[in-house]
Amino acid sequence: MKKKEFIAQDLLSKIYQRSALPEDQRPTKLPPERQLAEEYGASRFTIRKALEKLVDIGAVRVVQGSGIFINPGISNNPLVYNSITEKKFAEISFRMLNLHKRRPDKEEQQIFGLTAEDFIWAFTRLRAVNQHSVQIEQARMPFSLFTDLNQKVIESSIQQYVLGKGCQISHSLTHYDAVIVNKAQAELLGCKKGAPAMHILNRGILRDGRVYAFSDIIDIDYTCTYIIPFNQDNLAFRQT
């Protein structure tokens, strides 16, 4: 792990550790850059890069002349960041490969609560970070909710589009598997066949319980950090 990544993760850990303290004892700021550089035996440039990551993911904010403030509420979010959510929109681009309107198969009917007579959108797009292709995403969305879906939307933020339609996004349900890239995927991503990748299945869910999107993703540059609450019932189950 790079030094800046270690420092960013360690600072996040300390932020979460201190969130367990009584409210009047929780620190509201991190130490200044100079002190952090001494504590970690790192240059101020490296400290600055680690802090930039924490700023990007919303964990802290830097106020010139005042210090590095911890954002309240950060400890309530179980997903701290992943290799996509930590990137700014300006660094991410999409290229649509195809878009079809069709009837849903049986699995898609189950996912979206549709009938065989309904329609869905099915599309494939490449996601690039700083002009380097990292993801192939095959996605489905219910036609009845998003009748005007088009290439311009697909080559931008789907979440922003959904919010712009007046929908309220609640959460995502995500599953991960480690896989290797096949020949067709390698050609699209510009990598070697057999390269390691993450297979990600994701359901985006609205506050009213409806699934607004189902994505099947292959990512060749995926990392993530989670905060996972201790689950006593799960521990007891695993011991039986």
Query: Of 159, 164, 122, which Cα lies nearest the Cα of 143?
Result: 122
pTM of the full structure:
0.74
pLDDT of residue 224: 77
pLDDT of residue 175: 86
Residues 6+ apart with CB under 8 A from 100: 121, 122, 123
What pLDDT score does 126 carry?
97
Domains, in order of start, for the chain: 1-76 (1.10.10.10), 87-224 (3.40.1410.10)
Taking the CA of residue 125 as centre, how many other CA atoms within 13 Å lie in the half-sphere pointing to its CB? 24
d(C-alpha 101, C-alpha 119), whole Å: 7
| Tens digit of each residue's pLDDT (9 = 90 or more) over 118-169 | 999 999 999 999 899 999 999 999 999 999 999 999 999 999 999 999 999 9
222 vs 171: CA distance, rounded Å: 20
Write down the residue that tokens 């998003």 correspond to. 146
Query: How confident is the model at residue 229, as a pLDDT?
Result: 63
User: Consecutive sets of 10 residues in the chain, 240 residues long: mean pLDDT of each?
Assistant: 84 76 78 93 93 84 90 65 71 95 94 95 96 96 97 96 94 89 96 95 90 95 73 67
> What is the pLDDT, as a whole number, of residue 20?
62
| Residue 118: per-residue pLDDT | 98
Among candidate residues 81, 59, 76, the one with its CA nearest the CA of residue 68? 59
